């Protein structure tokens, strides 16, 4: 049996791992990037070393001779989903959710209003990233909209001292830009209250540990009855403790992170350096309602961290409402021998480990539904790609890139420096 997996992020690699090690199935894992690991490389924050090192564990999957990495191949452009259906016994879609969401408010299309998806891509060195480096010297105040862990990551990267960022694998041109940054204040803005935020406590707490940075929380935003607000959720209880502690702190640093809870963005005028927000409150039934008061938050740059969403692939069913591939027990609805796992199945939620459970369930379903193999040999699809001039980067190619990034980093006293240019990555990957 031969299976194609589309997307070499955690869910794709966990799916390949289970297919090969548990069922001894041959797997080709395709990714449109010349490197594997998806958001472990291009999402997880560069200063979260231990989480990023999950990469090394994921890489072990490709050491299994049954698993091939086929990097730099975009499904839907270089080869169609239908062609894969013809050459493999089954196709597993694990291509994630990479698009951003919009607020739908006036002024949002200004160049200094940036989606967190794009900003994260920039500082992690994604080959398709827009370069935001030249914006940073013009923004002393940045508003980060959203009350989740991605907003926390973005805030940390914007305000952390260079002495700490320099130790990470952030690409050199991004580090140089961060060194020129004028950012002094980051305003974390959310329409709901501290007890509704989806931060995890570990990530939240880190904000209070950044040297030279105050964290400001208005005590009036904290719920009057802590016990009641935290009753159903331990994370909420711990988060409230952290924020309550911050609300009592005195301010003395040059830089700050200020939380603006119960503030729904209603417009932005970034030429004037202003984000306008409607003050919200909870009514007696706990429903969020507007107070009618609008206030302005100084910000020359806005980063919208309000979620990721998936996109459709030609020839594969897609639910436009929920932005996922529709499935029942991981089997794609309306497409034979096709399965789905990870963010493109569940939507953008869950940590890396969540995808393992999901991928394993998906593969068990695939194997239990499969009949006799009809797959063609691996050479046929390889030849199709070669005929189309696609330069496939394999796992040996990733190892060359890995070695080069480590060399580059060590020459600068760091463990690794991410190479961000696609052509460079391909050339190193191909051993040119």
**From the centroid of its chain, how far is CA 405?**
21
- Among 2, 12, 127, 259, the residue binding ligand FAD under the rule CB under 6 A is 12
Taking CB under 6 A as the rule, does residue 46 contact ligand FAD? no
User: Three-class SS of residue 33?
Assistant: coil
Taking CB under 6 A as the rule, does residue 169 contact ligand FAD? no
**From the centroid of its chain, how far is CA 170?**
15
Taking CB under 6 A as the rule, does residue 4 contact ligand FAD? no
- Among 120, 144, 152, 242, the residue binding ligand FAD under the rule CB under 6 A is 120
Query: By rule CB under 6 A, what string of x and - marks binding of each residue 62-101 to ligand FAD?
Result: ------------xxx-----------------xxx-----
Q: In this structure, what token pair is assigned to residue 221?
A: 């935003």
Nearest approach in angstroms of CB 191 to ligand FAD is 20
Yes or no: say if 154 and 119 are a contact pair by the CB < 8 Å rule. Answer: yes
Taking CB under 6 A as the rule, does residue 43 contact ligand FAD? yes
Give CA–CA dist 42/401, Å, rounded.
15
Yes or no: say if 184 and 141 are a contact pair by the CB < 8 Å rule. Answer: yes
List CB contacts of 425: < 8 A, sequence separation 6 or more. 33, 34, 35, 127, 393, 401, 419
User: Which residue's CB atom is positioned nearest to ligand FAD?
Assistant: 9
Give CA–CA dist 299/142, Å, rounded.
5
Closer Cβ to ligand FAD, 39 or 242, answer by number? 39
Taking CB under 6 A as the rule, does residue 343 contact ligand FAD? yes
Closer Cβ to ligand FAD, 122 or 135, answer by number? 122
Q: What is the residue whose two structure tokens read 């029942």? A: 328
Looking at 186-194, 242-250, 291-299, 342-350, which segment touches ligand FAD (CB under 6 A)?
342-350
Q: What is the DSSP letter of 371?
A: -
Alpha-helical runs (H) found in 180-293: 201-207, 226-230, 234-247
- Using CA atoms of 250, 48, 180, 140 in order, give the dihedral in degrees to the nearest 10: -40
Taking CB under 6 A as the rule, does residue 342 contact ligand FAD? yes
Looking at 286-294, 318-326, 331-339, 348-356, which segment touches ligand FAD (CB under 6 A)?
348-356
Nearest approach in angstroms of CB 120 to ligand FAD is 4
Closer Cβ to ligand FAD, 34 or 107, answer by number? 34
Query: By rule CB under 6 A, what string of x and - marks binding of each residue 296-315 to ligand FAD?
Result: ------------x----x--
Query: By rule CB under 6 A, what string of x and - marks binding of each residue 355-394 to ligand FAD?
Result: x---------------------------------------
- Using CA atoms of 368, 369, 371, 376 in order, give the dihedral in degrees to the nearest 10: -100
Looking at 7-15, 162-170, 243-251, 267-275, which segment touches ligand FAD (CB under 6 A)?
7-15
Give CA–CA dist 343/276, Å, rounded.
32
Nearest approach in angstroms of CB 240 to ligand FAD is 22
**Dihedral sign for Cα atoms in the order 358, 28, 58, 98:** negative
Yes or no: say if 263 and 295 are a contact pair by the CB < 8 Å rule. Answer: yes
388-405 burial, b at 16+ Cβ within 10 Å, e below that, comes to eebbbbbbebbebbbebb
Binding residues for ligand FAD, total number by CB under 6 A: 35
- Among 4, 10, 20, 58, the residue binding ligand FAD under the rule CB under 6 A is 10
Q: In this structure, what token pair is assigned to residue 241?
A: 């403790």
Q: Where on the phi/psi map is residue 216: left (φ > 0), alpha (ψ -120 to 50), or beta? A: beta
Looking at 84-92, 105-113, 268-276, 345-353, which segment touches ligand FAD (CB under 6 A)?
345-353
- Among 20, 139, 143, 150, the residue binding ligand FAD under the rule CB under 6 A is 150
Taking CB under 6 A as the rule, does residue 325 contact ligand FAD? no
Interface residue list for ligand FAD (CB under 6 A): 6-12, 30-33, 38-40, 43-44, 48, 51, 74-76, 94-96, 120, 150, 153, 308, 313, 342-343, 350-352, 355
């Amino acid at each position: 049996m031969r299976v194609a997996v589309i997307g070499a992020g955690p869910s794709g690699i966990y799916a390949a791992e289970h297919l090969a090690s548990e069922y001894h199935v041959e797997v080709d894992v395709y990714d449109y990037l010349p490197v594997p690991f998806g958001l472990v490389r291009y999402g997880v924050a560069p200063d979260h070393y231990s989480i990023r090192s999950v990469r090394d564990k994921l890489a072990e999957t490709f050491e299994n001779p049954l698993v091939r990495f086929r990097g730099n191949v975009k499904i839907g452009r270089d080869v169609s989903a239908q062609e894969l259906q013809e050459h493999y016994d089954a196709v597993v879609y694990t291509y994630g959710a990479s698009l951003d969401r919009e607020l739908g408010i006036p002024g949002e299309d200004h160049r200094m209003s940036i989606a967190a998806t794009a900003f994260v891509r920039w500082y992690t060195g994604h080959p398709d990233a827009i370069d935001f480096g030249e914006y940073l010297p013009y923004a002393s105040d940045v508003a980060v909209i959203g009350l989740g862990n991605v907003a926390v990551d973005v805030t940390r990267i914007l305000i952390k001292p260079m002495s700490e960022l320099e130790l990470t694998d952030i690409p050199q041109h991004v580090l140089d830009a961060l060194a020129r940054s004028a950012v002094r204040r980051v305003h974390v803005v959310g329409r709901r209250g501290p007890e509704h935020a989806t931060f995890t406590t570990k990530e939240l707490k880190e904000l209070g540990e950044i040297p030279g940075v105050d964290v400001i929380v208005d005590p009036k935003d904290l719920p009057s009855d802590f016990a009641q607000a935290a009753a159903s959720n331990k994370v909420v209880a711990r988060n409230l403790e952290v924020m309550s502690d911050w609300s009592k702190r005195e301010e003395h640093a040059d830089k700050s992170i200020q939380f603006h809870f119960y503030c729904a963005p209603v417009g932005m005028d970034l030429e004037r350096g202003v984000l306008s927000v409607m003050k919200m409150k909870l009514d007696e039934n706990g429903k969020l309602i507007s107070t009618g008061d609008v206030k302005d938050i100084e910000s020359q740059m806005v980063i919208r961290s309000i979620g990721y969403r998936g996109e459709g692939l030609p020839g594969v069913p897609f639910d436009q409402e929920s932005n996922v591939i529709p499935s029942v027990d991981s089997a794609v609805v309306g497409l034979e021998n096709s399965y789905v796992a990870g963010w493109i199945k569940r939507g953008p939620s869950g940590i890396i480990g969540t995808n393992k459970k999901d991928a394993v369930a998906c593969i068990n379903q695939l194997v239990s539904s499969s009949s006799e193999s009809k797959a063609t040999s691996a050479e046929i699809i390889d030849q199709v790609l070669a005929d189309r001039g696609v330069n496939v980067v394999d796992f040996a190619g990733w190892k060359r890139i890995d070695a080069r990034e480590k060399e580059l980093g060590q020459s600068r006293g760091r463990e690794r420096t991410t190479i961000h240019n696609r052509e460079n990555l391909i050339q190193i990957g191909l051993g040119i």
